[in-house]
């Protein structure tokens, strides 16, 4: 794949995950929903990494590392930085739910609906960079 195809690949995966996240939210599978929101952000950031650095992103799920190394931190608004901070524990908790009760208390329908709105806004914002 060339660079443009890699950017498209990661972006389309994220787009598809966004559709799936809505379905999962409606089925009230909040832990899975949270994990998918993390994955959506990760995939968009990896697309941005390809666009900005023309190189393979590091093999990490850490959104903060990816954001920093990709150069995204230089342009990302504060509200989306906060979104990345909110999403970080959802990846770990979905994979290794050591404090399952605590994460389930956080992931209410209202909280997840807010996350969906924020991840949709992030999607629109970052795709402006990916298509320019």
Q: What is the pTM of this model?
A: 0.94
Can you read off the two tokens belonging to residue 94? 């979905």
Q: In terms of pLDDT, which residue wins out, 106 or 119?
A: 119
Reply yes or no on whether the pLDDT at 94 is more than 70: no
Distance CA 102, CA 100 (A): 5
Query: Which of the four pLDDT bands, split at 50, 70 and 90, describes residue 89?
Result: confident
CB 127 within 8 A of CB 51: no
Q: What is the CATH number of the domain that holds 116?
A: 1.20.120.330
Cα dist from 92 to 21, 31, 46, 70, 124, whole Å: 17, 11, 18, 21, 25
Number of domains making up the chain: 1
pLDDT of residue 82: 98
Q: What is the pLDDT of residue 60?
A: 94
Residue 106 has pLDDT above 70, yes or no: yes
Find the domain containing 62 and state its range. 3-130
């Amino acid at each position: 794949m060339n660079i443009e195809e890699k950017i498209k690949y990661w972006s389309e995966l994220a787009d598809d995950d966004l559709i799936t996240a809505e379905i999962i939210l409606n089925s009230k599978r909040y832990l899975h929903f949270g994990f998918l929101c993390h994955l959506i952000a990760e995939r968009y950031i990896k697309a941005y990494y390809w666009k900005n650095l023309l190189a393979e992103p590091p093999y990490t799920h850490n959104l903060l590392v990816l954001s920093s190394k990709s150069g995204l931190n230089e342009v990302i608004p504060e509200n989306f930085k906060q979104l990345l901070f909110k999403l970080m524990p959802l990846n770990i908790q979905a994979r290794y739910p050591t404090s399952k009760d605590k994460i389930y208390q956080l992931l209410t329908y209202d909280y997840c609906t807010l996350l969906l709105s924020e991840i949709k806004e992030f999607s629109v914002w970052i795709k402006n960079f990916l298509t320019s």
